[in-house]
Structure 1
Amino acid sequence: MTTFKKGNVLPDAGGYYGEYGGVYVPECLIGPLQEVTDAYQRISRSADFIAELRYIRKHFQGRPTPVSYCKRLSDQLGGARIYLKREDLNHSGAHKLNHCMGEGLLAKYMGKKRVIAETGAGQHGVALATAAAYFGLECEIHMGEVDIAKQAPNVARMKLLGAKVVPVTFGLRTLKEAVDSAFAEYLKDPVNTIYCIGSVVGPHPFPMLVRDFQEVVGIEAREQFLDMTGGLPEAVTACVGGGSNAMGIFRGFLDDPTALYGVEPLGKGPKTGDHAASMTYGTPGIIHGFKCYLLQDKDGEPLPVYSCASGLDYPGVGPEHCYLKDQGRVQYVTALDTEAIDAFFKLSRLEGIIPALESAHAVAYAMKLAQEMKQGAILVNLSGRGDKDLDYVIENYGFGTPE
């Protein structure tokens, strides 16, 4: 395999990763986005900011999160060994807090009074509400009505943490519409508010900013895996919706001869159209202020998308992922709902770890890959825990088949 030198050259000055990314927004947003870009470039490099963020990660978030070996699951599959990077043990239950605490700290240094965001599965909403409570900021979370119904525990957490949860009632009432709604609200007061996007998507500088805060996952995982096994994994898998958890762990291994797999939600299958596999079936287009692979109609409008995992049902994907796909450094593959559900139950029963449905997609592909590889090691980014999904899974799939 040809190694890929990540360097620090992307994005370019225009916010592009190759042909993807950029800033496709109304004129009135150019100034506020440039303010965030300039502040981030200046503040994030300061000794005070770095020291405070490191303190937060260690003493509030509980980082570093561990790497766990799945012995029983590996033994049952009879192939490559499977390991998990345990972002489910990050405070608030997912990787999302990595960038939310960074965004909240940036808001504090910029003198902002309010943070606003969208959420799908609710993990980003919970994480941002957590950060807002920590820093004493107002918090407003926009969430589609469909996702509110599926993710009631996370809605309750957001409200308990002091956030205002705004139901989004138009369109399909899921993640794409939540982004639309949150951006519209942000436009009303960009002076006192900072938009804290939930993934490596959106106009520049958001894909860069979220990536940089998530890179800690890959840095930790590489060091931990070397310490644990004396070598590097043959493969790394991570689920991809917008792509923040995947970008975080991939960044640690881009320079290594490790195969990287981004696992998209194939939902009910390609023939049904009920999926959100943007990299697999999309074409370059523009959504939410940036260019990426997009599931779109002949007029360039985003198509309806679906996944059993609310955090993955987005018709676009992060621009850096699109660049890595074109460069051939990362392979983007898929997992069906049924495969993710099977992985959800197997990991729960065999390892005592209940994964988020989003993360279960990465586990599902790792299980398949382990049997194909026969030997070696696979590291899965277990991006979140599945507490939020229990009601949905039990209502639709019961308690699974005992192992």
Structure 2
Amino acid sequence: MSDTITNTFLHDLPSADGYFGEYGGSFIPDQLKAVMDEITQAYLDIREDPEFRRELAELYSHYVGRPSPVFHARNLSRKCGAEIFLKREDLNHTGAHKINHCLGEALLAKKMGKKKLIAETGAGQHGVALATAAALVGLECDIYMGEVDIRKEHPNVVRMAILGARVIPATHGRKTLKEAVDAAFEAYLEDPINQLYAIGSVVGPHPFPMMVRDFQSIVGNEARAQMLTQTGQLPDNVVACVGGGSNAVGIFSAFLEDQDVKLWGVEPAGRDLETDGEHAATMTKGEPGIMHGFKSYMLKDAEGEPQEVYSVASGLDYPSVGPQHSFLKDSGRVTYDTINDQEAIEAFFELSRSEGIIPAIESSHAVAYALKLAKTHPGESILVNLSGRGDKDIDFVVEHYGDAFGVHLAN
């Protein structure tokens, strides 16, 4: 944490008990309360520790490659009639924004004397980033991943194994992200003393929504300064995809007080926004509820349990969302809308062929929304958080969509 991101720590949210308005908190078994209190205090201590901040800032600079650039996508801008800028988190070491909080969590675990990091992953970006951080600081690492996602995101599974992590399949339910979270929580309960559950987004019980937000705020603070330097003004619009919501909170955090900057969170409409189980648009279709230790908007089935969800983007198919997003929705500061599978894949190819940048399918949802926004906001500037690169997705995309876009590979 460098001095450029201290402003996030001055915000008065969450409250001391982890609430963003009515959302957040810590709904956990009694056996975890003392452990979670220890994690909270350890984090509050180290984030003010100059030595910790120096160490993390050096890793961001010399290991991750920060600051990530803001790129003016001129070809895309000419096509769509608005000025499109990309915050290039895809250029970070490990290929996404996830490394920002994984390094912080790994250093925290090391300083707390933990022996192992455990986590869930959907698209595999958080898993790869955490396996990378674990290798760097010398900790064991277990990553829980749905069987469906293991097959879909094979390149990232291989990367995690090379880095020394164990990839443990979640085999129940739809065998995707929600089930991976379930499995990781169960494993954490078995030994919360020697393990740290390094949650992969701004979700979970307090302090994780705060902690991951703080680490990811470097994205927004860099982008704000870069836009002022490059254009002389702030962007008219900032767009980010939202699953759990870490990349979106990260970039939004620096612009929350700039009322002239419109903030847009993009959820996955999947195959059909009007059919339960065929989308993962939590704030568009959900209501407040409690799951995985926190209160937030949630997609529920008829019994009030987490609804089955779907998205072409493995990192977005989660039936809840970070509590700060729920607060920002209710306050009206951020507008949340949706992009469906087909629109995301079209944007995947559009950015690839217009700018030579292959985005993650998750990030393609934000790109697709920016292209839509350009039609209704011509001439305005639109900053997109390009949260990850698409290396992990290319086999899946070619297999399922290649013919439609003229990609024919010889056997």
Q: Assess same fold via TM > 0.5.
A: yes
Q: Is the 1:345–1:400 contact (alpha carbons within 8 Å) kept by the matching residues of 2?
A: no
What secondary structure sits across from 2:264 in the alignment?
A: strand
Question: 1:6/1:193 Cα in 2 relative to 1: closer, same or farther (>3 Å)?
Answer: closer
- Alignment of 1:8 with 2:11, yes or no, is yes
Match of 2:224 in 1: 222
2:196 aligns to what?
194
Report the equivalent of 2:359.
355
Amino acid at match of 1:347: L
Aligned-partner Cα distance in 2 for 1:233–1:13: 33
Q: Does 1:370 align with 2:374?
A: yes
Partner of 2:109: 107
1:27 corresponds in structure 2 to 30
Q: Contact conserved, 1:265 with 1:277, CA < 8 A, in 2?
A: yes
Residues 118 and 178 in structure 1, CA contact (< 8 A), matched pair in contact too: yes
Which of 37, 41, 52 pairs up with 2:40? 37
- The Cα offsets for residues 285-305 of structure 1, whole Å up to 9 and x where unpaired, read as 011000010000232200000
Q: Structure 1 length normalisation: TM-score?
A: 0.97
Asked if 1:338 is matched to 2:335, the reply is no
Name the structure 1 match of 2:308: 304
How far off is 1:271 after superposition? 2.3
Q: Distance in 2 between matches of 1:383 and 1:400?
A: 25
Q: 2:64 aligns with which of 41, 61, 65?
A: 61
User: Among 248, 267, 270, which residue is 2:270 paired with?
Assistant: 267
What whole-Å deviation, never above 9, does each CA across 1:247-280 have from its counterpart, x for those lacking one?
A: 0000011111200000000001222330000000
TM-score (norm. length: structure 2): 0.95
Task: Find the aligned partners of 1:374 and 1:180 in 2 and give their Cα distance.
Answer: 44
Classify 1:228/1:145 alpha carbon distance in 2 versus 1 (closer, same or farther; 3 Å): same
Cα-to-partner distance string for 1:91-129 (whole Å, 9 max, x where unaligned): 100000000000011111111111000000000000000
2: CA distance, partners of 1:188 / 1:267: 35
Aligned to 2:140: 138
Aligned counterparts of 1:264 and 1:401: Cα–Cα separation in 2: 24
Question: Which residue number corresponds to residue 329 of structure 1?
Answer: 333
Asked whether 1:71 is paired with 2:74, we answer: yes
What SS does the aligned partner of 2:269 have? Answer: strand
What are the ranges of 5 or more consecutive residues in structure 2 without an aligned counterpart? 1-7
C-alpha separation in 1, matches of 2:403 and 2:315:
22
Superposition misfits of 4+ residues, deviation over 3 angstroms: 399-403
Q: Within 2, Cα distance between the matches of 1:313 and 1:124?
A: 14
Secondary structure at the aligned position of 2:405 is classed as coil
Residues in 1 aligned to 2:403 and 2:233: alpha-carbon distance in whole angstroms:
37
Report if aligned partners of 1:6, 1:255 keep a CA contact under 8 Å in 2. Answer: no
Q: Secondary structure at the match of 1:118?
A: strand
1:349 Cα deviation from its structure 2 partner: 0.4
1:80 is displaced (CA, Å) by 1.3
Contact 1:349/1:402 (8 A) holds in 2: no
2:115 and 2:195 in contact (8 A); partners too: yes
Amino acid aligned to 1:266: A
Q: How many percent of aligned residue pairs carry the same amino acid?
A: 63
CA distances 1:275-331 after superposition (whole Å, capped 9, x unpaired): 000000000001100001000023220000000000000000000000000000000
Q: Which residue of 2 aligns with 1:174?
A: 176
Q: Unaligned stretches of 5+ in structure 1? A: none
Residues in 1 aligned to 2:388 and 2:213: alpha-carbon distance in whole angstroms: 17
Alpha-carbon distance in structure 2 between the residues aligned to 1:340 and 1:299: 31
What is the match of residue 95 of structure 2?
A: 93
Deviations 1:165-191 (A, max 9, x none): 001111111100100100111111111
Q: Could you say which residue in structure 2 is the equivalent of 1:289?
A: 293
Q: Which residue of 1 aligns with 2:215?
A: 213
Distance change in 2, residues 1:56/1:115 (3 Å): same
Measured against aligned partners, the alpha-carbon deviations of 1:7-46 in whole angstroms (never above 9, x if no partner) come to 5111111111101001111111111111100100011210
1:6–1:254: 8 Å Cα contact kept in structure 2? Answer: no
Distance, in Å, in 2 between the alignment partners of 1:118 and 1:26 is 19
Q: How many residues align?
A: 398
CA distance in 1: counterparts of 2:57 and 2:404, whole angstroms: 41
